Structure 1
Amino acid sequence: IVAAHNEEVVIGKLIESMLNQNYPRELFDIFVIADNCTDNTAKIARKYGVYVYERFNKEQKGKGYALEWMFDKIFKMKKKYDAVAIFDADNLVSKNWCKEINSKMLEGYKVVQGYIDSKNPNDSWIAAS
């Protein structure tokens, strides 16, 4: 799941890295939440053939609300999932990400966290900290 707010500049790179996994494509789905976007985030994500949901709620803003909204939709689907991963739109994943996460789950781990590195460490005081 990718919760994205006005991320047209970076969303394509993340989706490309997800689609280029060294892992069977039929074993995972990609959901993008275009959350209160005023740019082309949803349009760009749709070009990759992933699931795109547009959310517009001016009272409940932010990633937490967007994820809660999306989880509600996913949990009501007929298709059931073994795991859920959450990404920021400016993340990238290595080719073996799914394979490595799956191997840990097969070992019995219920929660697995991947390594997160910032692509933009100097863009803001938050990213630099």
Structure 2
Amino acid sequence: MSVVILAVQIVLSGLVSYLLLLTFTAFRASRRTQFDTAVTHHFLILIPAHNEEKLLPELLANLRRLDYPQERYAVHVVADNCTDKTAVIAQQHAAVVHERFHDQLRGKGYALQWLLQRLWDSNVPHDGIVILDADSVVSPNFLQVMNARLARGERAVQ
């Protein structure tokens, strides 16, 4: 019986040792992810907004703090059928503002379709498009991650 107990203790000790090794390695690993910066893609960040004057300032301030060259991304806000100060606030935060009013075609899908058509018709340069809700907050390295994924050849990222 003591041989069985000894065998179980050895197996359990091995498993615990393995988990401790993984934990130690994880803590010692570098927390900073390195990204390929040979190519810096240009992004369009699109924000469909309907009466978002309360939420929009936080997102726009968050986007200005991204750890990515500001000349390599542009923030476009489509103020869709707004009756508040959404457009004014977006403009105050240096976003490109597109005001849209339509009685029947209302909602995020129509607003994005309208904005994308305007951008394509204007030949606005870009390598990637990011669509965010007005209540979003992104991490400082968000565009670095998107840039690396585009550099790897990914065509769509969710």
**TM-score normalised by the chain length of structure 2:** 0.70
Aligned with 1:30: secondary structure?
Answer: strand
Pairs within 5 Å for 1:44-55? 44-55=89-100
Aligned match of 1:83? 128
Unaligned runs of 5+ in 1: 114-129
Q: Size of the alignment, in residue pairs? A: 113
1:43 — aligned with what? 88
Matched residue type, 1:87: L
Partner of 2:139 in structure 1?
Answer: 94
What is the alpha-carbon root mean square deviation over aligned residues?
0.8
- The match for 1:30 is 75
What is the TM-score normalised by the length of structure 1?
Answer: 0.85
Q: Which consecutive residues of structure 2, in runs of 5 or more, have no partner in the other structure?
A: 1-45
Structure 2 distance, partners of 1:55, 1:9, is: 19
Structure with greater Cα Rg: 2
Worse-matched range after superposition: 84-93 or 70-79: 70-79
* Seq. identity, %: 38
Q: Are positions 1:68 and 2:104 aligned together?
A: no
Shift of 1:44: 0.6
Q: Report the residue type matching 2:114 in the other structure.
A: W
Aligned equivalents of 2:95, 2:155: Cα separation in 1: 26
> C-alpha distance in 2, partners of 1:31/1:60?
20
Q: Could you list the runs of 4 or more consecutive aligned residues of structure 1 that deviate by over 3 angstroms after TM superposition?
A: none
